[in-house]
Chain A
Amino acid sequence: DSGVTQTPKHLITATGQRVTLRCSPRSGDLSVYWYQQSLDQGLQFLIQYYNGEERAKGNILERFSAQQFPDLHSELNLSSLELGDSALYFCASSVGQGGNSPLHFGNGTRLTVT
């Protein structure tokens, strides 16, 4: 058990809809990262937060947004969903921002857009 909790585990929704994925980092971790895993694109970095502030942005679509709350949990909002957004979305956390500390991953949320 990594200590990172993601909910829900599965999500099935229709095109055009909006969903929210939630992540609780490991106790004491201040950084939260979101990744998208799809068959054709592999693991793609979306966005990073550190102690409530956005710190890095990757290949995140404008239809997607995220935030980290004062209690350090994070939410990833996906709107105007398309079939191609179907993927596994992972949250990860780490103690700080330094490159030596590893990321600890949750078990992911599997999103299916029909």
Chain B
Amino acid sequence: GDSVTQMEGPVTLSEEAFLTINCTYTATGYPSLFWYVQYPGEGLQLLLKATKADDKGSNKGFEATYRKETTSFHLEKGSVQVSDSAVYFCALRRIQGAQKLVFGQGTRLTINP
């Protein structure tokens, strides 16, 4: 079945450091890919998405590129802030058939000042 694998956390960085959270997927066909973020005590918020190969999603300084050849959708940010501390989830959703979101296990990110 469909699955998403994220790098294990927790990840701890200093403010202004470069961030990469790896995400790879297994799916039939070409799903849409998403990154969600969950701040403490809150629900999941859509961070960015990409719907086809080579698409780049971006939002709030975060970027991720849909790489079909490596089945990856790594999340990057050039300079992280303390306010970026949260849990990040990579997810996929098939275009047809079962349209549920399939999530990775989540990566907890802590940014120290």
Interface residues of A (CB under 8 A from B): 2, 4, 31, 33, 42-43, 45, 48, 55-56, 58, 90, 92, 97-100, 102-108
Contact = CB atoms under 8 A, between A and B. Distances in A.
Interface in B8-39: 31-32, 34, 36
Nearest to B41: A107
Q: Give the secondary structure class of B's interface.
A: loop
B43 A2 contact: yes
Contacts of B106: 42-43
A95 B73 CA distance: 24
A106 B99 CA distance: 18
Report the contact-size class of chain B (Cβ under 8 Å from the partner).
20 to 34
Interface of B: 31-32, 34, 36, 41-46, 49, 51, 89, 93-96, 98-106
Contact of A45 (B44, B96, B102): B102
A97 B43 contact: no
A44 to B, nearest CB: 9
A2 B45 contact: yes
Given A42-B103, A43-B106, A100 B45 contact: no
A4 B106 CA distance: 22
Contacts of B98: 56
B96 A99 contact: yes
A45 B45 CA distance: 17
Nearest to B29: A99
A105 B106 CA distance: 16
Of A56, A92, A99, A106, the most chain B CB neighbours within 10 A belong to A99
